[in-house]
Amino acid sequence: MAVSDSQLVEMFEQVLTLSKVTSSESVAILKSHYSNQRIVDAAFSAAQRLGAKVYGVELPALNMPKAMGNDMTAYCGDTPLTGNKAAQIALEAADLIVDTMMLLHSPEQEQILKTGTRILLAVEPPEVLARILPTLEDKARVVAAQKVLQGAKKMRVTSPSGSDITMELGQYPTVTEYGFADEPGRWDHWPSGFLFSWPNEGSANGKIVIDVGDILLPFKNYCREQIILTIDNGFITDISGGFEAQYLADYMRYFDDPEVYGISHVGWGLQPRAQWTAMGLHDKNDGMCMDARAFDGNFLFSTGPNTEVGGTRKTPCHMDIPLRNCTITLDDEIVVVDNGNVVYPPESIG
């Protein structure tokens, strides 16, 4: 069902309140011509209702020669902010930025965050924002899981379809997403509800089986056949299967960059209002499909860049691959997801 403009403003007011926006703060709305104007307008109105000083920063679109498709996650690295120091200074002056155009995986975003400015990304359709409106309970659930993941030294992921991969942890931090930016220097994404870290460099080994019904992003496809990834010392060394495996292999090969095969972030979904089935009800240009990344109990496996946490892989190709029916264990003892069912944090958290 459609969300009215007044409802969208009320939703933004709730999320900005969770993000601790007050009348003493300034809020910048970052946009481009492809931003959803309803989201831009609602963010402006909500910030004004909270008494904040609001201003807009509009940047031109940037089309990289190797980019394919319109999905905002299909090409990582350079953004319309790259090299635009004046605009970056204007954004750093804000206490909170509502990003409606997508700066993720850019060095400029990391530089802005280091100044203490908070960033909230909002690019999903209003109806998705409404269904996954963040709550304090969402934060509690994700933070409880964070305490477990950030203390772990090893992760193992298995599945009935044949996945079995192990990796060491600890070199990189644990990152949480719960839908609002309530701390200095925090980036978050509405809607969300998951967490992740990165394997220690060279430590991931084993096999990932992308099964029927698992999701390939940014393709926004449900797999109809299995794709088998062989992983040696932190990199995908073989992609086997049928047509879909060939399609994935050709897509990654197109970037002509060995770093696209590196294992990026790994984690799991904790958002009960996100749905595995939701992607099938939207056009491919409707946002980033955060339902797929956040639905409860998925194992979110990704490839490509790791510069956002201090790594050295700056590569434009980034795949997010949510897998169902996996079992995730940490340090061979704590089962956080059992055959796709979240067993930690306990249900009482949420």
What pLDDT is recorded for position 60? Answer: 93
The mean pLDDT value for 102-106 works out to: 83
Note whether residue 48 is domain-resident: yes
Q: Are residues 184 and 268 in the same domain?
A: yes
The mean pLDDT value for 64-86 works out to: 82
Q: Are residues 92 and 182 in the same domain?
A: no
Note whether residue 128 is domain-resident: no
Q: Tell me the sheet residues that pair with 262.
A: 235
H/E segment holding residue 197:
strand 194-197
H/E segment holding residue 248:
helix 243-254
Is 74's pLDDT higher than 70? yes
Domain's final residue, options 123, 155, 188: 123
What pLDDT is recorded for position 284? Answer: 87
Rounded (to 5) percent helix, strand, coil in the chain: 25, 25, 45
Q: Are residues 276 and 335 in the same domain?
A: yes
Q: Which of 238, 227, 242, 174 is nearest to 205 (CA)?
A: 238
Taking residue 193's Cβ as centre, other Cβ atoms within 10 Å add up to: 29
Note whether residue 216 is domain-resident: yes
Note whether residue 69 is domain-resident: yes
Q: Which of 55, 299, 68, 34 is nearest to 161 (CA)?
A: 299
Q: Are residues 231 and 95 in the same domain?
A: no
Q: Are residues 54 and 92 in the same domain?
A: yes
The mean pLDDT value for 46-52 works out to: 98
Domain's final residue, options 123, 152, 175: 123
Which CATH number belongs to the domain containing residue 35 in this structure? 3.40.50.2300
The mean pLDDT value for 124-134 works out to: 97
Q: Are residues 140 and 265 in the same domain?
A: yes
Note whether residue 278 is domain-resident: yes
Higher pLDDT, 29 or 310: 29
Higher pLDDT, 258 or 75: 258
Q: Are residues 157 and 289 in the same domain?
A: yes
**Residue 143 belongs to what domain range?**
133-349
- pLDDT by residue (tens digit) across 139-170? 999 999 999 999 999 999 999 999 999 999 99
Task: Please calculate the CA angle 91-136-101 and round it to the nearest 5 degrees.
Answer: 30
- pLDDT by residue (tens digit) across 201-241? 999 999 999 999 999 999 999 999 999 999 999 999 999 99
Q: pLDDT category, 348, cuts 50, 70, 90? A: low
What pLDDT is recorded for position 239? Answer: 98
The mean pLDDT value for 290-311 works out to: 92
Q: Are residues 166 and 91 in the same domain?
A: no
Q: Are residues 137 and 163 in the same domain?
A: yes
Note whether residue 295 is domain-resident: yes
Q: Are residues 99 and 34 in the same domain?
A: yes
Q: What distance in Å separates the CA atoms of residue 330 and residue 267, rounded to the nearest whole number?
A: 11
H/E segment holding residue 187:
strand 187-189
Q: What is the average pLDDT score of the chain?
A: 94
Instruction: Give the largest CA-CA distance in the chain.
Output: 58
The mean pLDDT value for 272-285 works out to: 94
Domain's final residue, options 123, 155, 185: 123
The overall pTM is greater than 0.85: yes
Note whether residue 319 is domain-resident: yes
